[in-house]
Structure 1
Amino acid sequence: MSDALDLAAGLKPHDPVYRARRARPEFVEGAELCRASVLAPEHGLGLDGDLRHALALRMGRLNEDEALVAQYSEALAHLDPLDPLVALGNGATGLEAPHAAIARHVDMVTLTPWQAGPEHIRALEAAGLSSPQIIALSELIAFVNFQTRVAAGLRLLRS
């Protein structure tokens, strides 16, 4: 059965890279469980699914990963988000708080992670995010950027 990474990389069951991934099923299953846990966790901590998907879409756009942009655009559309979340996902700036602070953080960690420092966590706290929300946001950022890089690597292997 194909997972989100297979779809992002364009892998089909007959592809050698698809079959090679299945040689380590714990990695395939682990990546899919991680994806589910950051996008649709049992306890959202006030970071709803539509916000999480909008942020994933934003990161897909920042990483210029058209396959992930398509996946996350479709998933977000199914959640019927409000216009501000659609704008957030599409890369808008000038957003209302706390979305503005979250967007700045997501953009910075996605594009220039080496610049991240304690002051950026303090900015999220000042925007009203709790420590558990900041951790959940960090997990989402880490996963989507991981997903982007793995999908790109799988595409290279496939080619």
Structure 2
Amino acid sequence: MTSAWNPSPGDDVIDQLAGIAPGSHLDAVRRHRLQARAQAQQSFLALLAPRAPLSSHWPLNERLAVAAFVAGLHQQPQVQRFYRDALATQASLALGKAIDAEVAQGLASGPYGQYPRGLLSAENQAGPVYAVGAQSRAVLGERLSAGLAHAHLLAFHPRDAQATHLQGLLDAGWSETDIVVLSQLVSFLAFQIRVVAGLRLLQAHPAPSTAAQQPTAEESAA
């Protein structure tokens, strides 16, 4: 492990991951949605940097392991590095290497799955079914291995999710509360990663200024 994982409540993690400087154009854009900005930060803190005892029995090091796995699957470099570094502060080197191995094994494109018979059936797409490798499973244990499998299912096979998958989590030792938190975490990470990717795209390709978009008097008269 390296230094302790201790994100400051006053820092906005999406701004950090997107490289948004205070006072910049994108900072001003985000401040137009202050409530949404604050809620995203509070979700991050509640799930991955709690200031109070966790509301479930799912320990922080395993949450960060799932976060590093999901971020790795989405292949957004800044987010992937952020959660992988965070995991290194809370977990053994062996666990970190196991997560890296499972990211490499679980990479896919998706989304895959089957719709109920009907118009949407034309969009059915078969895809790889993920399972934790035997070597990693020996490090991760049955409980965390089941959690990674569920996270991969939600990321790449969301329309294939069935009650049997939830039963698999229960059989591996997950409580109903922890299953809800796991699903919330995967959903939050997907949201966070999309926002960061979009903001970085805007940074790389800023929109023309408002003045440049306004037609000239001659163009208006034409």
TM-score after normalising by structure 1: 0.89
Aligned to 1:126: 171
Number of matched residues? 158
Residue of 171, 183, 189 corresponding to 1:144: 189
Name the SS for the 2:54 alignment partner. Answer: coil
Greater C-alpha radius of gyration: 2
**How has the CA–CA distance of structure 1 residues 76 and 39 changed in structure 2, closer, same or farther, with 3 Å as cutoff?**
same
- Alpha-carbon deviation of 1:78? 2.0
Is this contact kept in 2: 1:54–1:88, CA < 8 A? no
- Alpha-carbon deviation of 1:44? 4.7
**How has the CA–CA distance of structure 1 residues 83 and 98 changed in structure 2, closer, same or farther, with 3 Å as cutoff?**
farther
Matched residue type, 1:52: R
Matched residue type, 1:48: P
CA-atom RMSD, angstroms? Answer: 1.8
Matched residue type, 2:175: S
- Alpha-carbon deviation of 1:70? 1.3
Is this contact kept in 2: 1:53–1:72, CA < 8 A? yes
- The 5 A counterparts of 1:7-156 are 7-41=16-50, 42-79=53-90, 81-83=91-93, 85-92=95-102, 93-94=132-133, 95=137, 96-156=141-201
Identity, in percent, stands at 29
**How has the CA–CA distance of structure 1 residues 2 and 133 changed in structure 2, closer, same or farther, with 3 Å as cutoff?**
closer
Task: Tell me the distance in 2 between the aligned counterparts of 1:87 and 1:126.
Answer: 26
**How has the CA–CA distance of structure 1 residues 44 and 88 changed in structure 2, closer, same or farther, with 3 Å as cutoff?**
farther
**How has the CA–CA distance of structure 1 residues 6 and 19 changed in structure 2, closer, same or farther, with 3 Å as cutoff?**
same
- Alpha-carbon deviation of 1:84? 5.0
Task: Tell me the distance in 1 between the aligned counterparts of 2:11 and 2:56.
Answer: 29
Is this contact kept in 2: 1:62–1:111, CA < 8 A? no
Matched residue type, 1:117: Q
Task: Tell me the distance in 2 between the aligned counterparts of 1:144 and 1:106.
Answer: 11
- Alpha-carbon deviation of 1:39? 1.1
Structure 1 moving runs of 4+ over 4 Å: none
Q: List alignment gaps of at least 5 residues for structure 1.
A: none
Q: List alignment gaps of at least 5 residues for structure 2.
A: 1-9, 103-131, 206-222
Matched residue type, 1:145: A
